[in-house]
A and B are shown apart, each in its own frame.
Chain A
């Protein structure tokens, strides 16, 4: 069974750094893209970026380029999302999701449970 287990909720102050994680199991971690998706309070889903753990190829949405860093550690089957300097506007639920494909079309087949990040002074 495919599972993506994310790290726990975080409460931070503006200007803090943060790295959250997403551990995959039940499949070959290096064979599938992992995506990060943001959901701000009461809002919809926004794709942030993806990483291919096999070679760490990474693509970002223009809205998030330069704002976050996506990485992966193949040795522990874990993807990360990190911020160098958080803002209050980063307060949101963050989901990781595995990209699956069907006839060349990619979709988010499995999701983590989400990590709630709260940023407040």
Chain B
């Protein structure tokens, strides 16, 4: 079961800004572990979007940004584009369940 909670869906018009929250606990995000974000476009494998809370791999547009505070993290997409439509997952490390790597519940982004 996921220990990181995300909203099931968010939506926005092209050009708008949307944010996705990722809520954890003191055994993962709150314990100081980094949060990473993945984008999964329809019918494709997940792709790394943000690592260590606010770093973008080469090739990821700067429209995507991450932040972390306390037991939560957020992914922001500014200048929303039709090609951004898909599922987004946060991921961190958890010390309490011997699961090590935990994913968020996932958020479907819809471009109106």
Determine whether A85 belongs to the interface, using a CB cutoff of 8 Å to chain B.
Answer: no
A89 within 8 A of B: no
- Across the interface, do B105 and A107 meet the contact criterion of CB distance under 8 Å? no
Contact B51 A44 (CB under 8 A): no
B64: interface (CB < 8 Å):
no
Closest to B45 in A: A111
B46 touches A102 (CB 8 A): no
Chain B contacts with A in 47-98, Cβ cutoff 8 A? 47-48, 51-52, 55, 57, 89, 91, 93, 97-98
**Given the contacts A105-B33, A105-B93, A107-B91, A47 and B45 also touching, CB distance less than 8 Å:** no
Task: Write out the residue numbers on chain B whose beta carbons fall within 8 Å of the beta carbon of A97.
Answer: 46
| Contacts A45-B89, A105-B33, A108-B38; A62 near B48 (Cβ below 8 A) | no
CB neighbours of A45 from chain B (8 A): 38, 46, 89, 91, 103, 106
Size of interface on B: residues with Cβ below 8 Å to A? 26
Asked if A27 is at the interface (CB within 8 A of a chain B CB), the reply is no
**CB atoms of A47 and B47 under 8 A apart:** no
Residue pair B91, A59 in contact (C-beta under 8 Å):
no
Instruction: Please determine whether B100 and A59 come into contact, CB atoms closer than 8 angstroms.
Output: yes
Task: Write out the residue numbers on chain A whose beta carbons fall within 8 Å of the beta carbon of B33.
Answer: 105
Please provide the 3 A-B residue pairs with the shortest distance between their CB atoms, ordered closest to farther: A105-B34, A107-B36, A47-B101
Chain A residues at the B interface, C-beta cutoff of 8 Å: 35, 37, 44-47, 50, 59, 61-63, 95, 97, 100, 102-103, 105-114
**Interface set of B (CB-CB < 8 Å, partner A):** 2, 33-34, 36, 38, 45-48, 51-52, 55, 57, 89, 91, 93, 97-106
Known: A37-B46, A100-B51. 14 other contacts (CB 8 A): A35-B101, A45-B106, A47-B100, A47-B102, A50-B101, A61-B100, A62-B97, A102-B51, A105-B33, A105-B52, A107-B91, A108-B48, A109-B51, A111-B48
